[in-house]
Structure 1
Amino acid sequence: MTEQYTVRRARSADATAIAAVHVTSWREAYAGRIPDEVLDGMDVAERAAIWRRLLAGEVPGEAGAVWVAELAGDVIGFASAGRCRDDDAIPGRRELYAIYVLEADYGTGAGDLLLDAALGDEAASLWVLEDNPRARAFYRRHGFDADGAVKTQTVDGVPIREVRLVRTPPHGT
């Protein structure tokens, strides 16, 4: 029998597993897009400490709600979402803060499950690396389109250009 992916709300005890997915998935997805020294400098223990604080609610509003995807009890992905943080946010719009799945689990539906848990079919926005065609295609399949907004974020001193994608609910409601 094929094992199924399950999605559940993250708990504080998931911090290390989320951090491991976070670091590994960045290295897999952003190789050649973000400088190697940035990716090589990512540390699971440091990320775990941050996730532990976020999941414990010690940094209010920063993580939003967090979900994990599991396969055979192992965390293979995570997503977080909450209120839209953009200065020009439309009232009621949610924002997908992060969604990552390990490369070995691409195309399995785990990302779809995480996105559905995080956003359902609500109006939402997200920021995605401009040069990330795989992620942009994933979001397009889920009804997201670029709205023209662009920003440059600095990660470890390296400028990263991102574009905003938005989705309205079915039938514009």
Structure 2
Amino acid sequence: MICIRRARPSDAAAIGAVHVATWRTTYAGVLPDDYLARLSPVRHALGYEQAIASRQHGHAIFVAVASGPDAPLGGGTGGRPGGAEREGGAVVGFVSGGRARRAWLAQGEVETLYLLDDFRERGIGRRLMRAMAAHLAAIGCRSAMLWVLSDNPTRWFYRHLGGRPAAEERFRFAGQAMDQTAFLWDPIDILLAATAPAPEG
């Protein structure tokens, strides 16, 4: 079973582990190998723990927790699914966001969406996006956006959810020039409709 719920401070270590694991698979060949090798789950966990506790600017994190038959076999990532074998399940993905850092583009922003490879193509990313869209709407955001690296192979997912490219930007990261694209949902109802649960029957 996969449960989507708001993150707790005790989830931070698992969230940090998922972040590092997904970067190492998604950005292999895109970012320098030595940079990916130096990524620290512990350092990322500290940042996520602070974000979970502070909730500044409407910030929230939601996690996907796998339990029962859906729990990763053999401990998932490095013997620990999502970085932690926990009572009640293992964190296998998460989404974070809040009020947009660039209000000229949208009112709300999805900052991160990461999911372990073994749990992709199962509708979990859509459910995480639904949780974040509902949160952003609840705090008064009438539009939403996210940035994605132009070389990220999963950018099709955001198009499929009705996001439209609205801006492009070049920046330097890990010692090299990178391009990113902003996907926009305006109004946010477009994202809410695209992530709505399928009717039963």
TM range (shorter): 0.7 to 0.9
Given candidates 95, 114, 139, the residue that maps to 1:79 is: 95
Output the aligned Cα RMSD.
2.0
Corresponding position: 1:26 with 2:40: no
Give, in whole Å, the separation in 2 of the partners of 1:113 and 1:130.
23
Q: Match for 1:151: what amino acid?
A: E
- 3-state SS, counterpart of residue 56 of structure 2: coil
The answer to which structure has the higher strand fraction is 1
Give 1:33 shift: 1.2
Q: Which residue of 2 aligns with 1:106?
A: 120
Corresponding position: 1:151 with 2:169: yes
- 3-state SS, counterpart of residue 56 of structure 1: helix
Corresponding position: 1:161 with 2:158: no
**Contact 2:105–2:145 (CA under 8 A) maintained in structure 1:** no
- Spell out, residue by residue over 1:79-125, the C-alpha distance to the aligned partner (whole angstroms, 9 max, x if none): 011111115234xx211100000011110111111000011486211
**Contact 1:130–1:163 (CA under 8 A) maintained in structure 2:** yes
Give, in whole Å, the separation in 2 of the partners of 1:153 and 1:50.
22
When normalised by structure 2's length, the TM-score is 0.74
Q: Which residue of 2 aligns with 1:119?
A: 133
Q: Which residue of 1 aligns with 2:74?
A: none
- Spell out, residue by residue over 1:59-91, the C-alpha distance to the aligned partner (whole angstroms, 9 max, x if none): 834x8110000111100000011111115234x
Percent of paired sites with the same residue: 35
Give, in whole Å, the separation in 2 of the partners of 1:64 and 1:137.
25
Q: Match for 2:112: what amino acid?
A: A
Runs of 4 or more off by more than 3 Å in structure 1?
153-159
Corresponding position: 1:129 with 2:179: no
Q: Match for 2:155: what amino acid?
A: R
Corresponding position: 1:67 with 2:65: no
- 3-state SS, counterpart of residue 128 of structure 1: strand
Q: Match for 1:76: what amino acid?
A: V
Q: Match for 1:60: what amino acid?
A: Q
- Spell out, residue by residue over 1:122-160, the C-alpha distance to the aligned partner (whole angstroms, 9 max, x if none): 621110000123x2111111110111x222344343333
Give, in whole Å, the separation in 2 of the partners of 1:37 and 1:87.
35
Give, in whole Å, the separation in 1 of the partners of 2:39 and 2:102.
26
The alignment of Structure 1 onto Structure 2 pairs a total of residues equal to: 162
**Contact 1:81–1:119 (CA under 8 A) maintained in structure 2:** no
Give 1:163 shift: 0.8
| Structure 2 unmatched ranges of 5 or more | 68-88, 191-201
- 3-state SS, counterpart of residue 132 of structure 1: coil
Give, in whole Å, the separation in 2 of the partners of 1:64 and 1:37.
31
